[in-house]
Chain A
Amino acid sequence: MSQPGYVATPPYSQAQPGMGGYPAGFGSGPAQPMYSHYGGPPQAFSVPPPAGAMKPPVSSPAPGMMPAPPASSHYSPNPQQNGAHTQRYPAPPAGPPAAYGQPPHSQYNNMASQAPPPAQQLTNQMGAMNMGSYAPRPMQSPPPPVGSVAPPPLQIPPGPAMGQPPMAPGPQSPQMSPQMAPPQMSPTGMVGMAGPPMAGMSRPFPGPPPPGAGGFQQPGPGPGGFQQPPGPGPGGFQQPPGPGPGGFQQPPGPGGFQQPGPGPGGFQQPPGPGPATPPGYPQQPGQFGGQMAGPQPGFPGGFPGAGAQMAGPPQKKLDPDSIPSTTQVIEDDQAKRGGQLYTTNLRGQVPPLVTTDYTVQDQGNASPRFMRCTTYSFPCTADLAKQCQVPLATIIKPFANVPKNETPLYVVNHGETGPIRCNRCKAYMCPYMQFIDGGRRYQCGFCNCVNEVPPSYLQHLDHMGRRVDLYERPELSLGSYEFTATMDYCKNKKPPNPPAYVFMIDVSYSNIKSGLVRLVCEELKEMLDNLPREEGAESSVVKVGFVTYNKILHFYNVKSTLAQPQMLVVSDTADMFVPLLDGFLVNYQDSKAVISNLLDQIPDMFAETNESETVFAPVIQAGVEALKAAECSGKLFIFHSSIPTAEAPGKLKNRDDKKLVNTDKEKTLFQPLKGVYEQLSKDCVAQGCCVDLFIFPSQYTDLATMGDVCSHTGGSVYQYSNFQMETDGEHFLRDLQKDVEKNIGFDAIMRVRTSTGFRATDFFGAIHMNNTTDVEMAAVDCDAAVTVEFKHDDTLSEEAGAIIQCALLYTSVGGHRRLRIHNLSLNCSSQLMELYKSCETDSLINFFAKSAYRAILNQPIKNVREVLVNQTAHMLACYRKNCASPSAASQLILPDAMKVFPVYMNSLMKTCPLVGSTELCTDERALQRLSVLGMGVEETQLLLYPRLVPLHTMEVESEAVPAPLRCSEERLAADGMFLLENGQSMFLWLGQGCSPDLVQDIFNLPSLAHMQENMTALPELDNPQSMKLRSIISSLLQKRPNSMKLRIVRQKDKAEMLFRQHLVEDKGLHGGASYMDFLCYVHREIRQLLT
Chain B
Amino acid sequence: MATYQEFIQQNEDRDGVRFSWNLWPSSRLEATRLVVPVSCLFTPLKERPDLPPVQYEPVLCSRANCKAVLNPLCQVDFRAKIWVCNFCFQRNPFPPSYAGISDVNQPAELMPQFSTIEYIVQRGPPTPLVFLYVVDTCLEEEDLQALRESLQMSLSLLPPNALVGLITFGRMVQVHELSCEGIAKSYVFRGTKELTAKQIQEMLGLMKPAASSGQQGRPVAPQEAAATCKFLQPVHRVDMNLTDLLGELQRDPWPVPQGKRPLRSTGVALSVAVGLLEGAYPNTGARVMLFTGGPPTQGPGMVVGDELKTPIRSWHDITKDNARHLKKATKYYEALSNRSAVNGHCIDIYACALDQSGLLEMKCLSNLTGGHIVMGDSFTTSLFKQTFQRVFSKDYNGEFRMAFGATLEVKTSRELKVCGTIGPCVSLNAKGPCISENEMGVGGTSQWKICGLDSSTTLAMYFEVVNQHNAPIPQGGRGAVQFVTQYQHSSTQKRVRVSTIARNWADAQTQIQHIETSFDQEASAVLMARLGVFRAESEEGPDVLRWLDRQLIRLCQKFGQFNKDDPTSFKLSESLSLYPQFMFHLRRSPFLQVFNNSPDESSYYRHHFVREDLTQSLIMVQPILYSYSFYGPPEPVLLDSSSILPDKILLMDTFFQLVIFHGETIAQWRKAGYQEMPEYENFKQLLQAPLDDAQEILQTRFPMPRYIDTEHGGSQARFLLSKVNPSQTHNNLYAWGQESGAPILTDDVSLQVFMDHLKKLAVSSST
Give chain A's interface residues, CB within 8 Å of chain B: 552, 554-556, 562, 564-572, 575, 577, 579-583, 598, 601, 605
Contact = CB atoms under 8 A, between A and B. Distances in A.
Nearest to B199: A572
12 contacts: A568-B174, A568-B188, A569-B187, A570-B187, A570-B189, A571-B187, A571-B205, A572-B190, A572-B203, A577-B190, A582-B250, A582-B253
B182 A583 contact: no
Nearest to B204: A571
A580 B172 contact: yes
B578 interface: no
Closest 4 CB pairs of A and B: A571-B203, A579-B188, A582-B253, A567-B185
B193 A572 contact: yes
Contacts of B184: 564, 566-567
Contacts of A562: 248
Contact of A569 (B188, B202, B253): B188
Nearest to B205: A571
Given A568-B188, A571-B203, A571-B205, A579 B183 contact: no
B190 A575 contact: yes
B182 A571 contact: no
A605 B174 contact: no
B183 A571 contact: no
B205 A566 contact: no
Interface of B: 172, 174, 177, 182-190, 193, 195, 199, 202-205, 248, 250, 253-255
A346 B183 CA distance: 63
A598 B185 CA distance: 12
Given A567-B184, A569-B188, A571-B202, 13 more contacts: A552-B203, A554-B185, A564-B182, A564-B183, A565-B183, A567-B185, A568-B188, A575-B193, A577-B190, A579-B172, A579-B174, A583-B253, A598-B183
B183 A580 contact: no
Contacts of A601: 182-183
Nearest to A629: B254
B190 to A, nearest CB: 5
A598 B177 CA distance: 17
B172 A567 contact: no
Given A571-B202, A571-B205, A572-B193, A580 B187 contact: no
A479 B190 CA distance: 51
Nearest to B212: A647
A568 B180 CA distance: 13
A582 B184 CA distance: 16
Contacts of B203: 552, 571-572
Contacts of A570: 187-189
A605 B183 contact: yes
A611 to B, nearest CB: 10
A572 B183 CA distance: 21
Nearest to B190: A577
A566 B188 contact: no
Given A552-B203, A571-B203, A572-B203, A577 B172 contact: yes
A564 to B, nearest CB: 6
Contacts of B254: 581
B186 A566 contact: yes
Contacts of A564: 182-184
Nearest to A583: B253
Nearest to A555: B188
The listed residue with most A CB atoms (<10 A of its CB), out of B184, B193, B255, is B184
Contacts of B182: 564, 601, 605
B202 A567 contact: no
Nearest to B188: A579
A575 B194 CA distance: 11
Contact of B183 (A566, A575, A577): A566
B186 A567 contact: yes
A601 B187 CA distance: 18
Given A579-B172, A581-B254, A582-B253, A568 B193 contact: no
The listed residue with most A CB atoms (<10 A of its CB), out of B172, B187, B188, B199, is B188
Contacts of B183: 556, 564-567, 598, 601, 605
Contacts of A582: 250, 253
B695 to A, nearest CB: 42
Nearest to B191: A577
A225 B199 CA distance: 89
B619 to A, nearest CB: 47
A568 B187 CA distance: 5
A569 B203 CA distance: 9
Nearest to B251: A582
Nearest to B202: A571
Contacts of B199: 572
A560 to B, nearest CB: 13
Contacts of A567: 183-186
B185 A566 contact: yes
A693 B452 CA distance: 53
B284 to A, nearest CB: 24
A572 B188 CA distance: 8
A562 B245 CA distance: 11
A556 B195 CA distance: 24
A582 B188 CA distance: 15
A568 B172 CA distance: 11
A601 B185 CA distance: 13
B186 A569 contact: yes
A556 B185 CA distance: 9
Nearest to B183: A567
Contacts of A554: 185
A570 B193 CA distance: 13
Contacts of A580: 172, 188, 253
B298 to A, nearest CB: 12
Contacts of A565: 183
A570 B254 CA distance: 17
Nearest to B195: A572
Nearest to A552: B203
A281 B394 CA distance: 115
A567 to B, nearest CB: 4
A552 B189 CA distance: 12
Contacts of B190: 572, 575, 577
Contacts of A575: 190, 193
Contacts of B189: 570, 572
Contacts of B202: 571
A566 B205 CA distance: 19
A564 B181 CA distance: 10
B184 to A, nearest CB: 5
A574 to B, nearest CB: 9
Nearest to A600: B182
A1067 B187 CA distance: 57
B208 to A, nearest CB: 14
Nearest to B182: A601
A567 B189 CA distance: 13
Contacts of B193: 572, 575
A570 B203 CA distance: 8
Nearest to A556: B183
A555 B253 CA distance: 15
Given A571-B203, A572-B193, A575-B193, A581 B185 contact: no
A403 B205 CA distance: 54
A421 B324 CA distance: 52
Contacts of B172: 577, 579-580
Contacts of B255: 581
A564 B244 CA distance: 11
B681 to A, nearest CB: 56
A968 B128 CA distance: 78
A567 B182 CA distance: 10
A554 B203 CA distance: 12
A1040 to B, nearest CB: 39
A571 B250 CA distance: 22
Contacts of A556: 183
A601 B183 CA distance: 8
A577 B173 CA distance: 12
B272 to A, nearest CB: 11
A487 to B, nearest CB: 20
